[in-house]
Structure formats: C-alpha cells, structure tokens
Amino acid sequence: MTYPPKSSAPPPGPNLPTLPAVPAQPAPPAPAPTGTGTGTGSSPTPPPTPRRRTAFAEGFDQLRAAATTEPGRLRIIGALLALLVIAFGSVTAWQMTARATAADDVLTSSQPLSSDAADIYRSLADANTAASSGFLAGGQETAATRDRYEKDIRTAAEKLVNAAANADPDSPSTATIAKLNRLLPEYKGLVERARTYNRQGFPVGGAYLRYANEKMQQQMLPAAEDLYKKENQRLRADYADATPYPWAAIALGVAALAALAWAQHRTYQRTNRVLNHGLVAATATATVVLLWLVVGHSVARAGLNDSYDHGVRSLNVLHDARIASLKARGNENLTLVARGAETKKVGDETYDAYDYDFGTDIKALGRHLAAAGKLADDTSGEQPVTAAVGNMKEWQKRHTAAREQDENGNYQQALDRVIGPRGATGECFDSVDKNLHTALVHEETEFKRAAGDGRDALTGLAAGAAVLAVLGAAGAVLGIGRRLSEYR
C-alpha cells in the first residue's frame, strides 16, 4: 500500500467549501479594581444614582415656568397682593390688641392699684399719727381720735386685701403685701398695750408706743413705700406698652398700598382700562385701615400722654406731699411723747430726733406742694394746693411756738399748742390733709377722663382691621380673577 507524500496535493474528488477567515478578537477588558486592591476577582462599580430634586426646587421651577405666561404672572400677582393685605390686617390687629389691653390696664388696673398703694401708706401713717395723738391725750382721748385710728387700720387692711387679689402670684409686690399683712396685727397689738399702760399711768406705755412707732417707721412704712414704687413702675410699663406707634403695621400698610397701586397701573398699561373694581375695593379697604390705624392711635396716644402729664404726675406729687405731711405730724407728736429721750447728732449739734425729722418732712412737704402748683393746669386744681401752702406756713409758726414752750419746761402749754381744741398745730395738719384730698380727687377725675378718651379711641380698631383686611384680600383676588377670565 502506497501513501502519498506529505507535500503532495490532496487526491482528486469533489470540491469542499472554503470557510471564511475569522478576524482577530480583542482581548477581554481587565476587571476594574475593587477598593484599593488590584485583584482580578472584583465586580465593576455601578453607575451613580441621579440625585432627587427637592419639592422646593421643583416648585420654584414650576413658578418660574408659570411666570413666563401672562396668566401665570397674574396668578402670582394676585396671591402676593392677597398675602400682603392679609399680613397688614393681621399685624394691625395684633399690635392694636396689645395697645388696647395696655390702655385698659392703665385705666382699670395699674393706676387704681398705684392709688391703693398710696392709700395704704397714708392710712398707716395716719393711724400712727392718731395713735400718738390719743396717747398724748391720755385718759382724755376723744372718740374722734379713736375712731380715726380704727378707720385707718381698717382702710389699710382692706386696701391690702384688694392689692393681694389683683397682684400676680410671681409679682414682686406679692411678698411686700404679705409682709405688711403680717406686721399690721403686730403693730396694732403694741399700740393697744401702750394705751393700756398709759391709762393706768405707767411710764412703760411710752416705751411701747415708741416701739410701735419704730416698727411703723422702719418696717411698715418703708414696705408700703416700696409697694407704691412697684405699682408706679407697673403703671409706667403699661404706658410704655400702650403709647408707641405701631411702625410694623404702618410699614405693611404703606407696602400694601404701593403694591396695589402698581398692580392697577400695570393693568391699565396692558388693557387701557382705568379701573379694576376688585383692586379698587382692595385699595379702598387698605386705605381705610391705614388711616384708622394712624388717626386712632394718634388720638389714643394724645389722650394717654395727657392723662400721664396732667393726671398721673400730679397724683404722684400730691401723694408724696400727703405722705410728707403725715410723717411731719407723726414726728411732731412723738417729740412730746419721747420728751427728749431720742436724740440725733448732726455735725457738732445734738437735736431731738423727732423734731429734726419734723423739719425734714416739712421741707419735703413744701417742695412737693410747689411742684403740685406748677403741674396744676386749671383753677380747680390750683386752688386747694395754694390753700395747703398757706396751711403749711401757719403750721410751721405754731410748731415753733409749741417747741419754745416745751424747751422752757411748759409741757402742758406745748401739748395744748399741738393737740389742743383751738389754735393747735393739729388744725393746720387737718387743713393741709383736707386740701390735698380735694386736689387728689380733682386730679383723679382729670386722669380718668383723659385715659378713658385714649382707651376709647382704640375701640374696635383691631377687629375692624381684621375684617377689612379679609375684604381687601378678597377684592384683590377677584380683581385679578377678572383679568384671568379674559384668557379663557
């Protein structure tokens, strides 16, 4: 058997098909490294996920797209106008409610409480004066003096109850009121002991009365004065809340009117229509609210300022004058009760302590009366102050005469010149107190009139502003809606 050589051609036969040439294939891509490694077994990194847009961004894009068309712009303008008018009415209602509340507090709360605090001081000081006067009379104490003392004690107790009922639990006045309620029965007990021993002729009665006076002068009257000052601070705070101009509401009102005017001018430029009924109605309501706000608050501010300048200031000075007169009378009586037992050294001179304090109180009374005369703005207010000045001068003359008798050893003559039925200093004190009371009643009436006018000027402003703002916003929306209907 023969084999063909390896280099020879294939044997003849049928033609076989020729396969096409296969092009060279590229090598597979190398796998991406995982992490920081270079291994070949890591999987490829997935494509980053697109960040989801916020609702605010989408809303802004929609708003921007809407602003490219006239209907969209009109809708935006209408919404902004309505929002601005509503904001104007809301801020006006809020600020006017706060000011009306403060004005009402001035008239019905803080000023009456300030007067009650002054009455507490006056009642306590007058009770102390009546107690010393009764002690000087000894067994001949008159029923009028005793009744005056009891009436003052009852008045002080009633005013303290009223002050406690109207004071806030966390108010600084609450602790002062509690202190006075605790000290009042202690003082009354000391006075009763002094009277008992005095009627029996025991000298220890004078010691008890001086101790009662010390409790009154060093603890009770300073506490009452502190209460008076705190209530005056509360009154000034209410004035500070009621009188400032509502600048935020005024600024929003001006902005609302400017925006409405611009919207109407824009409508006129695009349609040649002079008036848009809805926008005109919105402008009218905003104008009414703004004028009502400015005029009403200006009238209220003027009334409240007048009540302070011609009411509260006069009342404060008159209360101070009355307190000074009561202190002077109490020290005058105690000068005779102590009989030189209490002294005070001023520089190189030694004085009777109570007589020295009397001189200080009389000088204070003169200053307060001079200030009250300057603040009096009519004859009814000036006349009792002038009369009180005359009473004070006569009081000084009689006191000087009484002191001369006491220093010369004529105790009974000095006593008659202080608490006697005729020509005594007690008559001058009573006249001063009566005239000051008349002036206080007059100034109280002036205060109530002016403060009432100021409060009444704010009546209905907050509610009216809110209602008109809603109507104005509705008018703006309807006016813009009328323009939108032209595009349908």
349-352 and 343-346 beta bridge pairing: antiparallel
> What is the model's pLDDT at position 67?
54
Check whether 88 has a pLDDT greater than 60. Answer: yes
Kindly give the interhelix angle for 411-419 and 425-456, rounded to the nearest 10 degrees. 30
Q: How confident is the model at residue 168 (pLDDT cuts 50, 70, 90)?
A: confident
| Residue 60 pLDDT | 54
**% of the chain beyond a pLDDT of 90:** 38
Read off φ and ψ for residue 285, nearest 5 degrees.
-65, -40
| CA–CA separation, 311 and 448 (whole Å) | 8
Residue 337's pLDDT is what? Answer: 75
Q: What is the mean pLDDT of residues 404-431?
A: 86
- Decide: helix, strand or coil at residue 376: coil
Alpha helices in 308-424 (DSSP H): 313-338, 353-375, 379-407, 411-419
Q: Could you tell me the two tokens for 214?
A: 């010390």
Interior angle at CA 83, CA 80 and CA 88, nearest 5: 125
The 10s digit of each residue's pLDDT in 427-436 is 999 999 999 9
In which band, very low, low, confident or very high, does the pLDDT at 92 lie, cut at 50, 70 and 90?
A: very high
What confidence tier does 37 reach under pLDDT thresholds 50, 70, 90?
A: very low
C-alpha distances in angstroms, 154 versus 120, 151, 165, 326? 10, 5, 17, 18
CA 53 to chain centre: 49
- For residue 1, pLDDT over 50 is answered with no
135, 329, 349, 354, 356 from 344: Cα distances, Å: 23, 18, 8, 9, 8
Confidence of residue 206 (pLDDT cuts 50, 70, 90): confident
Q: Categorize the per-residue pLDDT at 43 as very low, low, confident or very high, splitting at 50, 70 and 90.
A: low
Tokens of 332: 């005058």
More confident residue, 74 or 470: 470
Give the tens place of pLDDT for each residue, 385-403.
999 999 999 999 999 999 8
Per mean pLDDT, which range of 45-54, 345-354, 404-413 is the poorest?
Answer: 45-54
pLDDT at 199: 79
Under 8 Å between Cβ of 321 and 120: no
Task: Record the tokens describing residue 208, joined without a space.
Answer: 């008890």
Most confident among 21-25, 111-115, 165-169 (mean pLDDT): 111-115
> What mean pLDDT do residues 81-98 have?
93
Q: Residue 22 — pLDDT band, cuts 50, 70, 90?
A: low
Model confidence band, residue 350 (pLDDT cutoffs 50, 70, 90): confident
Structure tokens at 443: 């100034």
Model pLDDT for residues 370-383, shown as the tens digit of each residue: 999 999 888 888 99
Encoded tokens for 264: 């109407």
The angle subtended at Cα 462 by Cα 456 and Cα 466, nearest 5°, is 150
pLDDT for the residue numbered 130 = 84
Instruction: Kindly tell me if the per-residue pLDDT of 257 is higher than 70.
Output: yes
All residues at 6 or more sequence positions from 196 whose CB lies less than 8 Å from its CB, including other chains: 205
First to last CA, the chain: 105
In angstroms, the CA 222 to CA 327 distance is 12
C-beta separation of 398 from 358 below 8 A: no
What's the chain's length in residues?
Answer: 488
* Mean pLDDT for the stretch of residues 333-362: 78
pLDDT at 100 over 90: yes
Residue 78 pLDDT > 90, yes or no?
Answer: no
pLDDT at 39: 46
What pLDDT score does 437 carry? 92
> Stretch 226-251: mean pLDDT, rounded?
91
Q: Is the pLDDT of residue 342 over 90?
A: no
Place of tokens 């309620």: 181
Mean pLDDT of the region 111-120:
88
Question: 24 by DSSP, 3-state: which?
Answer: coil
The answer to whether 353 and 218 are in contact (CB under 8 A) is no
Q: How far is CA 363 from CA 177, 324, 370, 389, 449, in A?
A: 30, 9, 11, 12, 33
Given a cut of 80, whether residue 304 has pLDDT beyond it is: yes
- Which is higher by pLDDT, 297 or 415? 297
How far apart are alpha carbons 471 and 282 in whole angstroms?
Answer: 7
- Identify which has the larger pLDDT, 259 or 17: 259
DSSP bridge pairs for 345? 350
Range from 88-97, 167-176, 276-285, 351-360 that averages highest in pLDDT:
88-97
Contact call for residues 354 and 331 (beta carbons, < 8 A): yes
Is the separation of the CB atoms in 246 and 93 below 8 Å? no
CA angle at 84 for the pair 81 and 86, rounded to the nearest 5°: 105
The total of other beta-carbon atoms located within 10 Å of residue 234's CB is: 23
